[in-house]
Amino acid sequence: MITVDEARARLLQLVTRGPVEKVPVAQAAGRVLGADVTATRDQPPFAASSMDGYAVHSDEVERHAMFKIIGEAAAGKRFSGSVQPGQAVRIFTGAPMPAGADFVVIQEDVSRKGDVITITETPGTKSNVRPAGVDFTVGTKLSAPRLLMPADIALLAAMNIAQVPVTRKPVVALIATGDELVMPGEDPGPEQIIASNTFGLRAMLQADGAEVRMLPIARDTEASLRTAFGLAAGADLVVTVGGASVGDHDLVAPVAEALGLERSFYKIRMRPGKPLMAGRMGDAAMVGLPGNPVSALVCGHLFLRPMVRRMLGLDPGPPPPKNAALAAPIGGNGAREHYMRAHVQDGRITIFDNQDSSLLSVLAASNALVVRPPDDPARAAGDMVSYLAI
């Protein structure tokens, strides 16, 4: 058995960053910039007024100074003439500054009679002019990789980058395995349960930017597993859930090996999630997750999400653990790193009593996994522990 860190390192070696595709800027939010982009224009493209007021030459700006209004400049409508001494142009926010003017007296500091204005207040030194290119200029770069946030989308739009190069979404195929499973909405028999792990994993990995293909449930037969693996063709990452242990009905490993799996490792020194299997299978990475729901979803957080992030070109993470004070004492840990379901609020963390790896209700009530190192001794209430936010 290997450690969690070693397992993650080996899993990350199984995947590489995907190719770059172009998408419209309106669809680029939440995607990862796949190549550097550079502005092909200046913003603003001209010196522009930042206020509503009167454009004049700064040399003439003083209280009681009078100007004749010779025209108007609005956003999108430049004043085509030139401002001479004693002249002003009525100007609005965002409008290009007219030639000959370098100062905007705000309208609140002026009295106007017909075509003449008088400065009535002592103007400040602020010119109320935005220089051309103050936001960005031709060649200003936005560097890849970068998870594109709302402000980035606005910036790309302003740069007129209508088609944005982004890393292709990695394709993850999910295969639930087990004779006992039926799909939500079906009427389960008395010995059946509803497939749930793949639904949770799908939500998790889609939110991280993967394209998730949910394949039909594979039964505990070689033929059914072969069908499912066949349907996974073209995926970057094939994930099975269940059937990866060593029980007589655990056929994932033998079938995957018959189909060419080069196993990287099997079993991790952790709870939950010990019987995890991984390798390369043709052009895809393959991960066999344990079938208990909490095991599968915790392994999703710890391993699949970093793999998706690596395929997107992002720092794979996981983010560094945070710290909180235990709300109640906790016994010593065993030999495996333990990721305990917990709820953290206002810096205090409560570890749930029942850590059985089948309990989705407990996982759904959790917002943290307390990370207990191997052989961590008993801890008292108030002791600080590390946790991962989930």
Position 126 contacts a second copy (CB under 8 A)? no
Position 26 contacts a second copy (CB under 8 A)? yes
d(CA 167, CA 145): 9
- Binding residues with a second copy: total (CB under 8 A): 89
Partners of 87 in the beta sheet? Answer: 68
d(CA 239, CA 271): 19
Binding mask 41-70 for a second copy (x = CB under 8 A): x-xxxx---x-x------------------
Among candidate residues 36, 32, 305, the one with its CA nearest the CA of residue 169: 32
Of 116, 207, 258, 328, the one binding a second copy by CB under 8 A = 207
Position 92 contacts a second copy (CB under 8 A)? yes
Torsion of CA 344, 345, 350, 352, to 10 degrees: -60
Q: To the nearest whole angstrom, how small is the minimum distance from the Cβ of residue 116 to a second copy?
A: 17
Query: What is residue 330's DSSP assignment?
Result: B
Binders of a second copy in range 260-319 (CB under 8 A):
291-293, 297, 300
Side by side, which strands form the sheet with 262-266? 211-214, 171-176, 237-241, 284-289, 277-281, 262-266
Pick 170 or 242: Cβ nearer a second copy: 242
Give me 12's structure tokens. Answer: 């990350």
d(CA 205, CA 173): 11
Of 18, 96, 288, 316, the one binding a second copy by CB under 8 A = 96
Segment near a second copy (CB under 8 A); pick from 1-9, 127-135, 232-240, 306-314: 127-135
Position 157 contacts a second copy (CB under 8 A)? yes
Residue 211: phi and psi, rounded to 5, are -95, 115
Position 102 contacts a second copy (CB under 8 A)? no
Of 22, 118, 199, 386, the one binding a second copy by CB under 8 A = 199
Of 75, 233, 381, 384, the one binding a second copy by CB under 8 A = 75
Position 162 contacts a second copy (CB under 8 A)? yes
Position 337 contacts a second copy (CB under 8 A)? no
Pick 232 or 281: Cβ nearer a second copy: 232
Asked if the bond preceding 24 is cis, omega within 30° of 0, the reply is no
d(CA 15, CA 34): 16
Of 188, 234, 332, 377, the one binding a second copy by CB under 8 A = 188
Q: To the nearest whole angstrom, how small is the minimum distance from the Cβ of residue 280 to a second copy?
A: 26
Binders of a second copy in range 352-381 (CB under 8 A):
354, 356, 358-361, 363-364, 366
How far is C-alpha 220 from the geometric centre of its chain's CA atoms?
A: 36
Give me 357's structure tokens. Answer: 């790896």
